[in-house]
């Protein structure tokens, strides 16, 4: 499926402008897409590095549309391709930052930029994950993040975020390299998160780990 005009991500100073026409762009994606169930912790696709995207074609465009549809069904703010069982480095997001500004976009083949020590101000907030449904735990992450990658047509892009949106960018990039947020927790906190998951009921369709 060819990209629509509303699907384009504009660039400013090398960074994606992802705060304009958010409602229209997100709606266009999900209306073209099909919602898929979410994979959960224990599924092998979540625990290994995903493959690089090398074909920037209609199949990739459809995957991005399906990811936006799946994200809306699950009421998430970010979704990585392996969370719907696809072994490719792609994530989408529809996330507010700490100032209440909405960001909508996608990144293909993301790489998280290492921050200098003087820019690493940690934010210790609760974090959750669609692949660990109903569980939350406090996790310290830098409150600023820059991700380098490509758009759906293979053009180089950069995305930056602060606060909650920075957390989202880090969280989704981690997914594509085989890490869930619970992997960064202490053994006790990880065990508690898995207990919360076991005791809860997901509000969206999930893939059972047989």
Which contacts of 141-147 are long-range, i.e. CB under 8 A and separated by 24 or more positions? 141/166, 141/167, 141/170, 141/171, 142/115, 142/166, 142/170, 143/167, 144/115, 144/119, 145/112, 145/113, 145/115, 145/169, 145/170, 146/112, 146/113, 146/115, 147/107, 147/110, 147/111, 147/112, 147/113, 147/173
Which candidate, 109, 111, 131, 120, places its Cα nearest to that of 60? 109
Q: In the structure encoding, which two tokens stand for residue 143, read together?
A: 């409150």
Whose structure tokens read 């400013």?
12
99: annotated active-site residue: no
Tell me if 194 sits within 8 A of 135, measured CB to CB.
Answer: yes
User: Rounded distance, CA 144 to CA 134, Å?
Assistant: 26
| Alpha carbon distance 21, 100 (integer Å) | 15
Pick the catalytic residue from 5, 138, 172, 199. Answer: 172
Tell me how far apart the alpha carbons of residues 154 and 156 are, in angstroms, rounded to a whole number.
6
Catalytic machinery residues: 172
């Amino acid at each position: 499926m060819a990209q629509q005009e509303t699907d384009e991500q504009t660039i400013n100073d090398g960074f994606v402008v992802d705060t304009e026409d958010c409602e229209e762009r997100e709606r266009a994606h999900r209306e073209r897409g099909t919602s898929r169930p979410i994979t959960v912790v224990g599924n092998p696709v979540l625990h290994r590095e995903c493959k690089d995207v090398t074909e920037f074609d209609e199949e990739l465009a459809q995957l991005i549309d399906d990811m936006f549809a799946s994200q809306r069904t699950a009421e998430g703010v970010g979704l990585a391709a392996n969370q719907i069982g696809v072994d490719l480095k792609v994530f989408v997001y529809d996330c507010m930052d700490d100032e209440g500004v909405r960001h909508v976009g996608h990144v293909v083949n993301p790489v998280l930029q290492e921050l200098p020590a003087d820019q690493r101000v940690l934010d210790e907030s609760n974090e959750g994950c669609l692949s660990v449904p109903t569980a939350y735990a406090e996790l310290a992450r830098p409150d600023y993040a820059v991700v380098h990658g490509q758009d759906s047509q293979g053009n180089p892009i950069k995305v930056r975020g602060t606060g909650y949106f920075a957390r989202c960018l880090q969280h989704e990039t981690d997914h594509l390299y085989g890490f869930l947020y619970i992997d960064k927790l202490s053994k006790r906190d990880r065990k508690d998160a898995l207990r919360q998951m076991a005791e809860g009921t997901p509000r969206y369709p999930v893939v059972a780990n047989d």
